[in-house]
Structure 1
């Protein structure tokens, strides 16, 4: 029996609108209340992310908007993330949206999470023995997905990200046909973790580079016969990790002003440099500066030599002097002239 075009169109329209997003968190079976925009960085609607290059792939559309509260839990606690479709405890997500549910953790950040900060701590994919997907079990459990916080996790603030990947259109990659492709439903929750653990998550996974269209867990045809499914991303973290002393915690924010180099200040001093902070004007630091030397003696005027050195090479006076030698010669010339005149 063939379905009419109208029936197929109605089926696709129904499936397209049966999306999901997160309502809240339970800690050891205790409801933490409505977390939307309280401790969950909630997106504005339940639409999926499909572009693997989009920064929204990490924590969804509002992933970079930190919220005011944190869920408090201890390392080793059982956590339950609760999903819904339009209202709490409804049909959760369309039954056609078969796929895995994967959980990651990162040290707390106020950024959108689109960087190499994530570590996988739980996953649930396809069970070949029951032929059930994680999404099938999520619907049966009224939107609740359980996992255990690693018992060795170091105390501190974290972001825990859980995603549903729906494969009802993933037989074709999004980059080949934007009308199709896997649908990602990520949600990020702010946590404050206590305990005596010392392990710091250290896989440093980046969704924009770690998830690719060549990944068989991203492009997957659920309508063709299959017996297994490879969940995308790294292996589940062992809980060993790096110690806090060897791995620098992720800063709470990366929007601080750049550090501008300046003079080193001593406590109590003003930031305004004093006049003595500049080098003396007489100090020459450039290789091209003129050397400080006296003018060579060969270019000095004769009078300078007399004054400076007292040399015996004192120049002979010029002009009409009255020295002894000059006066005697004049008298002899006058006498010879007088004798010649007398002889005549």
Structure 2
């Protein structure tokens, strides 16, 4: 038999990426009505084309979501077309900032994404006590992961009424270096803002020219000690929302909305008043143990699938057999195992097998 090393992990490849899929208003679930959904959960890495505007070939949104200036908007990301809060929103230790931009447009449905954007939200980086490398620090994407894929901010209270594009972005820096390598996960939402404000920000940028692969916050490695982090793009506007990342382990930012597949479910939005103090909370019983800490996420992983805890295990008749020791698979057998697992159960053991397989023997 021949051993095939899968550096990035064949099973991990599909799980490490993500897309912005849903939106909330003041705790009300608006579903995906105003998002321009993208056909792939792969990142944008091209700084020359138009993909950094609203991603590659986004679909038309169903319509606009109406917000009053000052309302709370919650953006929601997931790896797959599911709203599971026990799966990392963006997997594979993809640590980096989460940003949001808005652009004033005449007609949100007709806007291309080439318009002038201003920054209304950023959740970037904070030093973790005792950390010796950036991987182990606080990051916006850690808050995103461990808050069920949801982060929130305010529509600026003084913003002039009209149509806007809202551009949500998570930037993964795990593969970045001085020569580039950052990964951008982007989507645009169509909004109509009401109110009596008059603000029309002039500190604007266009994409892709707002970024370069070696620019601030992008062209460096997070696998070394960090003393500071320059947020990519322009400065946050004065009435924008600045959040300090706070989560290192699975938890819930206070008052986060509960994910639900049905729109118009009332729930309080995720808190934007984050602090530099981590939220101490245990992982959910069905959560992948790979996401317990940022240090664990960067530690070596194996191809051994561990049995699920008894609190989340399904009955033997409903759950496919999960190996408790290293197993030898052909590629086809491993894929068949994953498909059977997906169809039968959502146990932590199977999710761990999917995320952490590093090699297959054929």
TM-score, with length taken from structure 2: 0.58
Match of 1:48 among 38, 43, 50: 43
Query: Where does 1:1-344 land on structure 2 (aligned, <5 Å)?
Result: 9-11=7-9, 14=12, 17-33=15-31, 35=32, 38-63=33-58, 66-86=60-80, 87-89=82-84, 90-108=87-105, 109=108, 110-115=110-115, 117-129=116-128, 131-171=137-177, 173-174=179-180, 181-239=181-239
Q: Greater helix percent: which structure?
A: 1
Q: CA deviation at 1:112?
A: 2.7
In structure 2, relative to structure 1, the CA distance for the partners of 1:61 and 1:105 (3 Å cut) is same
Q: CA deviation at 1:224?
A: 1.5
Unaligned ranges ≥5, structure 2: 130-136, 241-362
- Which residue of structure 2 lines up, in the alignment, with residue 279 of structure 1? none
Q: Is the 8 A contact 2:204 2:234 kept in 1?
A: no
Q: Secondary structure at the match of 1:169?
A: coil
Q: Is the 8 A contact 1:107 1:159 kept in 2?
A: yes
Q: Secondary structure at the match of 2:237?
A: coil
- Which residue of structure 2 lines up, in the alignment, with residue 271 of structure 1? none
Give a deviation string over 1:101-134, Cα, whole Å, max 9, x none. Answer: 010000135243135x100011011111462100
TM-score, with length taken from structure 1: 0.61
Q: Secondary structure at the match of 1:210?
A: coil
Q: Is the 8 A contact 2:37 2:60 kept in 1?
A: no
In structure 2, relative to structure 1, the CA distance for the partners of 1:239 and 1:173 (3 Å cut) is same
Q: CA deviation at 1:26?
A: 0.8
Distance in 2 between residues matched to 1:170 and 1:75, nearest whole Å = 36
Q: CA deviation at 1:189?
A: 0.3
Q: CA deviation at 1:221?
A: 0.3
Q: CA deviation at 1:216?
A: 3.0
Q: CA deviation at 1:207?
A: 2.3
Distance in 2 between residues matched to 1:236 and 1:168, nearest whole Å = 24
Q: CA deviation at 1:7?
A: 5.8
Distance in 2 between residues matched to 1:98 and 1:71, nearest whole Å = 29
Q: CA deviation at 1:135?
A: 0.5
Give a deviation string over 1:169-227, Cα, whole Å, max 9, x none. Answer: 111535xxxxxx11000110000111111111322301222211331311120112212
Distance in 1 between residues matched to 2:76 and 2:38, nearest whole Å = 15
Q: Secondary structure at the match of 2:187?
A: strand
Distance in 1 between residues matched to 2:79 and 2:128, nearest whole Å = 28
Distance in 2 between residues matched to 1:12 and 1:52, nearest whole Å = 27
Distance in 2 between residues matched to 1:229 and 1:99, nearest whole Å = 10
In structure 2, relative to structure 1, the CA distance for the partners of 1:236 and 1:24 (3 Å cut) is same
Give the alignment's Cα RMSD to 1 decimal. 2.2
Q: Secondary structure at the match of 2:209?
A: helix
Moved over 3 A (4+): 5-8, 10-13
